[in-house]
Amino acid sequence: SSIPKIVILGAGYGGVLTSLRLQKELNYNEADVTLVNKHDYHYITTHLHMPAAGTDHPENARVNISKLIDEFKIDFVKSTVVQIRPQDRKVILEDGTLSYDYLIVGLGGESETFGIPGLAEHAMSIRSINSVRLIREHIEYQFARFKREPHRTDYLTFVVGGAGFTGIEFIGELADRIPELCKQFDVDPQLVKIINIEAAPTALPGFDPELVEYAMNVLQKKGVTFRIGTAIKECSPDGVIVGEGEEIKSQTVIWTGGVRGNRLIEEAGFETMRGRVKVDEFLRAPGHDNIFILGDNSLLFNEQGRPYPPTAQMAMQQGVNCAHNLVASIRNQPLKKFAFSNKGTVASLGKGEAIGIAFGRKYKGRVAAWLKKAIDIRYLFIIGGIPLVLRKGKFL
Ligand code: FAD
């Protein structure tokens, strides 16, 4: 048929926003839209630090895709993408093949281990519902193990690599969770250590120094030990080696130190930097007018020539722009340039505590924590309207 085929890979922030906008803007039979995702649910990545630490249930960080998209307008395919073949305009799934006229890649990033030996094998990372289920159970299991082998205090040492947003948000939750676990397993809280290791000279590099200091104070009061300006040299089943060869014994290493693009992007032959494609002003892969790359897989630079950090906020705005440009392409209308508008950043530090910058102001403490909640609720509203806010909002 002559109806253009649009295939969207990944139902993350970028893919969901593209789908929602397309189903609203496209006319009946104007295009054939297919959304492919590994799971039949979308996960709210920005909420995953809570179920990872066990301060919330993983259920509250996911939404069924059928509740988000209109399946009369968009075909949803639950499958795993194994290969993208731009030269044939095809996508290979684990159980089939799709051909496309327009492709949107929103497959999200992967953990970047910078080649540090053992990290890929022995550290866990906060990336998906399945990965946080594992971390949550693993943490509890260490308490149970310790009761059987009370000399093994390394069971109670929790190492978090990276003091970026994910690392900081996670240790905030973990510090809240530890007292509960100590009570539950009759463990002396003095024996538990949370050690945050960061190679850069400061936590939250690039963030407002006053807020960073506030965050570190809050977390230190909750019992977190910071090792800033300290690089992890190696990770093994027994723990990590840091700095000049010091060993920190631990059975739990959570790596939050970096994100890179999905390996499928490189494998498809796109030119990449740390797995990301430097997209053009319309979010297209260079040399491919019909391929849009969103979110953690795209690389964009600000006016100072610095790369933007990959965020949900960025992926969402890209999704909106991408849908607009898809509709414009189909209608032979001019495309709109993408321009990121930074609405601010808030990082939670556990219950009732956060730091952030929004509306040109700094926030900390309760107000910032409230702001974080408002951002999360706004997101639920954007993707699922009032019904989703009512179902999930109370858990945030
Ligand atoms: P994702 O949201 O990662 O979605 C990718 C989708 O693709 C997933 O549904 C996945 O299942 C699917 N997929 C992957 N591979 C395949 C495959 N081979 N086949 C089929 N489907 C596949 N950003 C903020 O702006 N604010 C925050 O407060 C914030 N907090 C964060 C806290 C944590 C703990 C983490 C981990 C991240 C946080 N981020 C935050 C970053 C933000 O979550 C990411 O930048 C954002 O999720 C990227 O969106 P995306 O659309 O590129 O991909």
Give residue-wise pLDDT tens across range 64-93. 999 999 999 999 999 999 999 999 999 999
Q: Would you call 210 a catalytic residue per the annotation?
A: no
Q: What is the pLDDT of residue 1?
A: 56
Give pLDDT tens digits for 336-389.
999 999 999 999 999 999 999 998 899 999 999 999 999 999 999 999 999 899
Q: What spacing in Å lies between the alpha carbon of 33 and ligand 1's midpoint?
A: 21
Q: What is the pLDDT of residue 367?
A: 95
Q: Which atom of ligand 1 lies nearest, measured to the CA of 264? A: 18
Query: Residue 2 — pLDDT band, cuts 50, 70, 90?
Result: confident
How high does pLDDT run on average in the chain?
A: 96
Average pLDDT over residues 286-307: 95
Answer whether 126 contacts ligand 1 (Cβ < 6 A): yes
Q: What spacing in Å lies between the alpha carbon of 354 and ligand 1's midpoint?
A: 21
Average pLDDT over residues 126-133: 97
Answer whether 78 contacts ligand 1 (Cβ < 6 A): no
Give pLDDT tens digits for 106-116.
999 999 999 99
Q: What is the pLDDT of residue 396?
A: 65
> Rounded to the nearest 5 degrees, what angle is found at the Cα of 91, between the Cα atoms of 312 and 115?
55
Contact (CB, 8 A) for 223 and 175: yes
Query: Out of 169, 173, 198, 353, which one is annotated catalytic?
Result: 169
Task: Judge if ipTM > 0.85.
Answer: yes
pLDDT(126) > 60: yes
- Take atom 53 of ligand 1 and give the residue whose Cα is closest: 108
Question: Domains in the chain and their CATH numbers?
Answer: 5-38+79-109+261-333 (3.50.50.60), 115-257+344-396 (3.50.50.100)
Answer whether 167 contacts ligand 1 (Cβ < 6 A): no
- Take atom 12 of ligand 1 and give the residue whose Cα is closest: 10
Residues in a beta bridge with 235:
240
- Take atom 52 of ligand 1 and give the residue whose Cα is closest: 295
Answer whether 14 contacts ligand 1 (Cβ < 6 A): yes
Give pLDDT tens digits for 182-215.
999 999 999 999 999 999 999 999 899 999 999 9
